[in-house]
Structure 1
Amino acid sequence: MTALQPSLMPSAPGASQPLESLTGGGTMINWITVADADLPLFEDWYNFQHLVERVSTPGFRRARRFVAAQRRTLDTTDFLTVYETDDVQVLSSPEYLRRLDSPTELTRRVVPLFVEFRRAACTVTAVAGLGSSARVLAVEIPPGTDLAEVRRRLTTDHLPRLIAGHLLHVGSLHEPDAGVTAAKASTAEGRSSVTQQPAESALLLLEPQTGVDADTVTAELVDLLPGITGREFTLLFEMRSAPAPVAAQEGPA
């Protein structure tokens, strides 16, 4: 399956060079629920250690951490993390698996604290729009859906129309790769997470325009995805890999 790389929207006024939304053709999607009592340790581990370790892995480009806008329970908090990679194969690469097989002591302490943990390595199969937002609407598409048809209609109709109407900045479709997702299971970190489950649903990530509510966006998609429901998340933290340094140019002799 060929990923559709982020591209310049033809309607972008005054753009003189390519602009981006997602930064790669692969993603790792993590859904994590944590007890509120464990949040200080979890946040410290995630932002100061875990993301540094992950995003410094060759092939990783960006990580964005989101928190659910609404709670499901009084004493837990739900998080969504989206890691962007060159392609989905980065998530079964020898270097990535080596790091999973050598978790830090703090990782060994924190991962078993997860109340719920779902994870999927995905290929980005559709993307449209420019930039990124601090608010996302996550729509899980159940297994058994005709994803080829969803992909076709998203790229030819729904996403361009939502963007042209200034309801949406970016929309992207992430389709799970079960084989790559399962590669973690044989590592030390994979074995330490007794709550981990594969996220089997494809994920439609929608980044609405400021002031546009979620219901307005999902109402434009009901003909494509009947019964559509989405969950809002807001950005907590972002980390990017550094681009390769530009070689210094010598001045004229």
Structure 2
Amino acid sequence: MSVLGNACLAMWWDMAPEMRVEFEHWHSHEHFPERLGIPGFLRATRWTSATGGEGIFVMYELTAHAVVSSPAYLASLNGPSPWSTKLMPHHRNMVRTQCHVLESRGSSVARQALTVRLSPASGRADTLQAALAARMAEWVGQPGLAGAHLLRHQTPAIAQTTEQKIRGGDQAADWVLVVTGYDAAALDALASAELSEAALVQLGAAPGPVHGRFALSLSATPADMR
């Protein structure tokens, strides 16, 4: 697999423009080092909306899904720093998804990321996964594209954490498709054709996928934080 490890934590939220400078300072210099110091966190990457919105997309690559319910991670979630406590209420419309990696091809980090939050139609999960896997193998060799990764959410058996309570609760996606690339136009073309709602429904997805395109802000591994 191209994603580091067998699991990912994928998150989307909105951050108001007046908080962006402090947020990026905190997220880069306190939050990423804190998270990457937890056993099982292999890489952290942040993208910001590439279409003029307030959206943030963050993906943590993990050794295994069990990391999201590990004692070390739960201690961090339930003991936020004063700076984290200040910033958490500004994470608006949080979608936080703890995922198994179903399929992974090519690079997980590039200048641009297209994310698609989707669900399989009833009884069509295997069909959808097989269809997307076949296309992902083709996409990673196309001009402008670099990688494609399919993730499936599984809610961990843990109580609501302190950070979640501060934010007012989180939503979760079902399946997540992340396509990375170096050419925004190539990603937009994919989103409007092979990954359009109509095309995805034909492959076995339920109606109502949510698309977003994001530009790279920062990517780091634990070694980068030492």
TM-score range, shorter chain: 0.7 to 0.9
Name the stretch that deviates more: 224-233 or 92-101.
Answer: 224-233
Query: Contact 2:107–2:180 at 8 Å: present in 1 too?
Result: no
Change in Cα spacing, 1:148 to 1:224, as seen in structure 2 (3 Å) is farther
Change in Cα spacing, 1:131 to 1:174, as seen in structure 2 (3 Å) is closer
Query: Contact 1:100–1:184 at 8 Å: present in 2 too?
Result: no
Q: Are 1:61 and 2:42 an aligned pair?
A: yes
CA distance in 1, matches of 2:182, 2:216: 14
Taking the TM superposition and a 5 Å limit, the aligned residue runs for 1:91-170 are 91-130=68-107, 132-142=109-119, 144=121, 146-155=124-133, 157-166=134-143, 168-170=145-147
Change in Cα spacing, 1:140 to 1:103, as seen in structure 2 (3 Å) is same
User: What's the secondary structure of 1:232's corresponding residue?
Assistant: strand
Q: Are 1:241 and 2:222 an aligned pair?
A: yes
Query: Contact 1:208–1:214 at 8 Å: present in 2 too?
Result: yes
Cα drift, residue 120 of structure 1 = 1.0
> Structure 2 residue aligned with 1:206, among 173, 179, 192?
179
User: What's the secondary structure of 1:123's corresponding residue?
Assistant: strand
Query: Contact 2:108–2:180 at 8 Å: present in 1 too?
Result: no
Change in Cα spacing, 1:81 to 1:211, as seen in structure 2 (3 Å) is closer
What residue is the counterpart of 1:11 in the other structure? none
What residue is the counterpart of 1:190 in the other structure? 164
Larger radius of gyration: 1
Query: Contact 2:46–2:219 at 8 Å: present in 1 too?
Result: yes
Query: Contact 2:109–2:180 at 8 Å: present in 1 too?
Result: yes
Taking the TM superposition and a 5 Å limit, the aligned residue runs for 1:29-68 are 29-68=10-49
Q: State the Cα deviation string for residues 186-207 of structure 1 (Å, max 9, x = none).
A: x32222221x322233110011
Cα drift, residue 150 of structure 1 = 1.7
Q: State the Cα deviation string for residues 99-158 of structure 1 (Å, max 9, x = none).
A: 111110111111012232111111111111246311111111136463322211222x21
Tell me the C-alpha RMSD between the 2 structures: 2.3
Cα drift, residue 162 of structure 1 = 2.0
Q: State the Cα deviation string for residues 196-251 of structure 1 (Å, max 9, x = none).
A: 322233110011353642242232345751376632101001110239xxxxxxxx
CA distance in 2, matches of 1:209, 1:236: 14
What residue is the counterpart of 2:204 in the other structure? none
What count of residue pairs does the alignment treat as equivalent?
215
CA distance in 2, matches of 1:184, 1:234: 33
Query: Contact 2:117–2:173 at 8 Å: present in 1 too?
Result: no
> Structure 1 residue aligned with 2:58, among 81, 100, 112?
81
Q: Structure 1: any 5+ residue segments left out of the alignment?
A: 1-5, 7-20, 244-253
Change in Cα spacing, 1:189 to 1:163, as seen in structure 2 (3 Å) is closer
Q: Are 1:70 and 2:51 an aligned pair?
A: yes
- Considering fraction of residues, name the structure with more helix: 2
- AA partner of residue 200 (structure 2): L
CA distance in 2, matches of 1:28, 1:212: 27
